[in-house]
Amino acid sequence: MSTSLGRAVDALNAPVAVAGEIDLILLNGKIITVSADDAIIEAVAVRGGKIAAVGTTQEIRALTGANTRVIDLGGKCVTPGLVDSHIHILYYGEQFREGLLDIRFPKARSKEELLRLVEMRGKETPKGEWITGNQGFTMGIDNTLTRFELDAVAPHHPVYLRHFSGQFAVVNTLALQEAGIDRKTPDPYGGKIGRDATSGEPNGLLFHYPAENLVGRRAYGIRSEADRLTAVREGQRRALATGYTSAQDVIVMRQEDIDTYRKLARESGLKMRLYIMQYLHSEQQALKLLPQVQRFKDEWLTFGGWKLAVDGGPGAGTSLMYDRTLRAANRSYVYHDQSTLDRIVFQAHKTGLQVAFHATGDRAIDMAINAVEAALNASPRENHRHRIEHLQFPTRQALERMKRLGMVVSTSPQWIRFHADGYRQMTNDVTMEGSFPLRTMMEMGIPIAFGCDVPATIMIEPKWALLGAVTRTTRSGYTPAPEQRISIRDALRMHTLGSAYASFEEHIKGSIEPGKVADMVVWSHDVYTASSDELAELRALTTIVGGNIVHE
């Protein structure tokens, strides 16, 4: 036995009880444990859904019982199951609902292709019926289509198309009329109706959920319980197939969506572990909802807390930044003023649960930190782990405050690979040098978690997060802040133990150690030694949750 492997066995295996028959054994692999010393082992034994023992192939083979399933890995790489810190399983599954026009990448790569898809759907759709796209098209706000262009290709159908980011939608004239939106319609709280600068007439652009939903709820129609269950199963299927074994759904909008998750959990329909957070869109809603909170937690489903949005995103021009001359921020506006945000967060904080903030721009990030600091000053609480999602353009001062306050970062480094070219056009090189500062945060000791954020991200696979964090390079070759690159070991740790920490679950998942849940993935390539080109080809061969194979 090698010295390092011997240490792994000593530290991880030791005299762990293995009484009772072992259910599953994996042998002859390169098993990356993500333990404290980053031990790499050959074999693992599973009993009752948990890791029973780890060690050499010879040692673990000796635990084989009459009914033990034995899998010879043949040298394949195994890691802990990926934990996604920011995903929307139900809403992602809904994007594949029958009847929606598929406008997701790569179906529509340009405005011309998008308009052609709408025109073709119109030819096969009875007049007056909705043409509704899934989320969504990838053009930025500067080159997106207008309601008049939609009118030209679909004059007889109301049309609703949502940007992939979820931060804005574009609709045609008939859709505005169906929703009763005209020049006199006020902006809903937290949202904005795009208007012509001269006439004040709606221009077809709808910013943020409250405005988008004025039309979207009509376009998508009423979802039955069966529809919602189907959506969760589809989103779950796709997530498991890519190597996610746990997920944190950080926007659950409605009680009926929570009920859907709970129903699946009761009926053993959840095959991955979920941690969910409910969205608070206004102070009025929060004051009504927070006193009625129903806490629940079991092996498969946990209610984790609350989510607020402080700004939008660069693609919509609604990142809330101090420099509003930047195109990423020139349409930005305050969703909640600071005093209102402080009051909402204080009430959410007092429930004893976690609070997460969507915040992309430097001003939005500071507002979120201000609210957390005010809540902690008024009602101190240890280990709260309040978190900021995305955190694209933080200042150094913001990071120092987050560290002092014990906050967590949940971010999506795949966005560097997918969108940094666009972010550069929407900001400038100086701003981009401070974007996604992974190494700085890691060296400061700020907890970091990774999440794919589908459907607001064009592709779900975790390999894109790993590539984004390790290379920080777009397909064009642009590399913002190359000194912020991190190692593949650190990236994998953030996407496993780091994400588990973000949901208070690092003691039960995120590494392959005795006593933890037996959530593991067998990969097509060696994650630690794969080149960038090989990482781009990485795929999950087998996904195991609780010792059960759920994707193969």
Cβ within 8 Å of residue 356, ≥6 positions away: 250, 277, 305, 306, 307, 308, 386, 387, 388, 389, 410
Which DSSP string do the residues of 375-400 spell out, in sequence order? HHHHS--TT---EEEE--S--HHHHH
Partnered with residue 9 across adjacent β-strands are: none
User: pLDDT tier at 10 (50, 70, 90 boundaries)?
Assistant: very low
DSSP 129-171: --EEB-S-B---GGG---HHHHHHH-TTS-EEEEBTTSSEEEE
- Is the domain defined by 90-220 classed in CATH 3.30.465.10? no
Centroid of chain to Cα 552: 23
The reported pLDDT for the residue numbered 17 is 39
CA 152 remoteness from chain centre: 36
Beta strands (DSSP E) in 92-136 are 131-132
**Structure confidence by residue, pLDDT tens digits, 357-407:** 999 999 999 999 999 999 999 999 999 999 999 999 999 999 999 999 999
- Say if CB 269 and CB 277 are below 8 A apart: no
Of 414, 397, 304, 307, residue with least CA distance to 353: 304
pLDDT of residue 139: 86
Share of the chain above pLDDT 70, in %: 97
- Which residues, including other chains, have CB under 8 Å from residue 33's CB and lie 6 or more apart? 8, 12, 39, 40, 41, 54, 80, 511, 512, 513
Beta bridge partners of 274: 247, 301
User: Residue 531 burial (CB < 10 Å; 0-12/13-18/19+)?
Assistant: exposed
Q: How confident is the model at residue 20 (pLDDT cuts 50, 70, 90)?
A: confident
| Cα distance between residue 204 and residue 201, in whole Å | 9
Q: What is the token pair recorded at 156?
A: 């007889």
Q: Collapsing DSSP states into helix, strand and coil, what is residue 410?
A: strand
Question: Which whole number is the average pLDDT over 256-279?
Answer: 98
pLDDT(11) > 60 = no
1 falls in which pLDDT band (50, 70, 90)? Answer: very low
DSSP, collapsed to helix, strand or coil, labels residue 296 as coil
Distance from CA of residue 425 to its chain's centroid? 24
Give the torsion sign (CA, 111, 112, 114, 118): positive
| Partners of 26 in beta bridges | 44, 71
CB atoms within 10 A of CB 74: 9
Closest CA to 212 of 168, 175, 181: 168
Q: Are 385 and 504 in contact (CB under 8 A)?
A: yes
Please compute Rg for the chain using Cα positions: 24
CA distance 173 to 134: 19
Cα–Cα dist 300/545, whole Å: 11
Global pTM exceeds 0.85: yes
**What is the three-class DSSP state of 50?**
strand
Q: Is the per-residue pLDDT at 256 higher than 60?
A: yes
* pLDDT of amino acid 140: 83
* C-alpha span between 9 and 25 (Å, rounded): 16
Q: What is the pLDDT of residue 19?
A: 57
Q: Looking at residues 284-296, what average pLDDT do you find?
A: 95
pLDDT tens figures, 512-542: 999 999 999 999 999 999 999 999 999 999 9
Q: Which CATH superfamily is domain 84-88+223-508 in?
A: Metal-dependent hydrolases (3.20.20.140)
Spatial CA neighbour of 94 closest among 273, 228, 246: 228
Contact 333, 318 (CB under 8 A): yes
- Cis omega before residue 155 (within 30°)? no
* CA–CA dist 480, 434 (Å, integer): 8
Three-state secondary structure call for residue 21: coil
More confident site: 139 or 229: 229
User: What pLDDT is recorded for position 14?
Assistant: 41
Domain boundaries, the chain: 1-81+510-552, 84-88+223-508, 90-220
Q: What is the pLDDT of residues 398-442, one digit of tens each?
A: 999 999 999 999 999 999 999 999 999 999 999 999 999 999 999
CB 352 within 8 A of CB 306: no
- SS3 of residue 463 by DSSP: helix
User: For tokens 């959530």, what's the residue?
Assistant: 519
Name the DSSP class of 101: B
Q: Residue 96 pLDDT > 90, yes or no? A: yes
Q: Which residues pair with 168 in a beta bridge?
A: 207
pLDDT in tens, 299-314: 999 999 999 999 999 9
At residue 18 the predicted structure's pLDDT band, cuts being 50, 70 and 90, is very low
**Is pLDDT at 137 greater than 50 in this prediction?**
yes
| Distance separating alpha carbons of residues 53 and 45, to the nearest angstrom | 5
CA distances from 533 to 30, 178, 266, 274 (A): 20, 49, 42, 31
Q: Which residue has the higher pLDDT, 250 or 143?
A: 250
pLDDT at 6 over 60: no
Specify the higher pLDDT residue, 252 or 139.
252
Q: Which of 92, 463, 133, 387 is nearest to 249 (CA)?
A: 92
Residue 11, number of CB atoms within 10 A of its CB: 15
Mapped onto helix, strand or coil, the DSSP state of residue 484 is helix
Matching CATH number, 1-81+510-552, of 1.10.10.10, 1.10.3720.10, 3.30.470.20, 2.30.40.10: 2.30.40.10
Looking at residue 12, what is its pLDDT?
A: 42
In angstroms, the CA 125 to CA 122 distance is 5
Neighbouring CB atoms inside 10 A of 138's CB total 22
Question: Which helix (H) or strand (E) covers residue 5, if one does?
Answer: helix 3-8
Could you tell me if 118 and 175 are in contact, meaning their C-beta atoms sit under 8 angstroms apart?
A: no
69-72 and 24-27 strand pairing:
parallel
Q: Which of left, alpha, beta for 166 (phi over 0: left; psi -120 to 50: alpha)?
A: left
